[in-house]
Amino acid sequence: MSPGCLGKPVATGFSTYQGLHQSGGLCYILGLRIFVRCFFLGGRRAPPEIFRVSDEPLSCERADMYAVIKTGGKQYKVAAGEKIKVEQIAADVGQEIVIDQVLAVGNGADLKIGTPLVAGASVKATVVAHGKHDKVRIFKMRRRKHYKKSQGHRQTFTELEISAVNG
């Protein structure tokens, strides 16, 4: 078991205690034991026992590589396979783009932070769709002055699917 996964949540609702899977529980790896943090069970607090689920050693996969990118004046934490909505980018649907403004790259416990950008790091993404967010309503009013102004705005976005994080 890698030391980076000690104390991290591995599963929810995973216990032999009757009814715990219905109300929710959070399992943590600590050595060979799994500790279950109990939540409310039918209006009463669950017993704070420690459940030993199995005697075999637990394995924790290393976390996927992730990156913090900057696009459209905002920062996003992304990993391969995720879909994100960013400010509109001038690219066609289905086109693959490369984002080279990478502020940080992480792989499990390793983290590279750029000054201000990480040299040689990039993120490949595919444009999935273009669209508009929900309408934001703006309403201005001055009381007793017979002044009411109503306005609306829909911000455009580009939906990206992250293919790979290189760095």
Q: For the chain, 167 residues long, give each residue's pLDDT as a single digit of tens.
A: 444 444 444 444 444 444 434 444 444 444 444 444 444 444 444 454 444 444 455 444 445 799 999 999 999 999 999 999 999 999 999 999 999 999 999 998 899 999 999 999 999 999 999 999 999 999 999 999 999 999 999 999 999 999 999 98
Question: Do 33 and 83 belong together in one domain?
Answer: no
Question: Do 41 and 114 belong together in one domain?
Answer: no
Question: Do 130 and 159 belong together in one domain?
Answer: yes
CA dihedral 86, 87, 92, 94 (to 10 degrees): 0
CA dihedral 141, 142, 148, 153 (to 10 degrees): -30
- 56: three-class secondary structure by DSSP: coil
Question: Do 70 and 117 belong together in one domain?
Answer: yes
Total number of domains constituting the chain: 2
> For residue 90, is it within any domain?
yes
> For residue 59, is it within any domain?
no
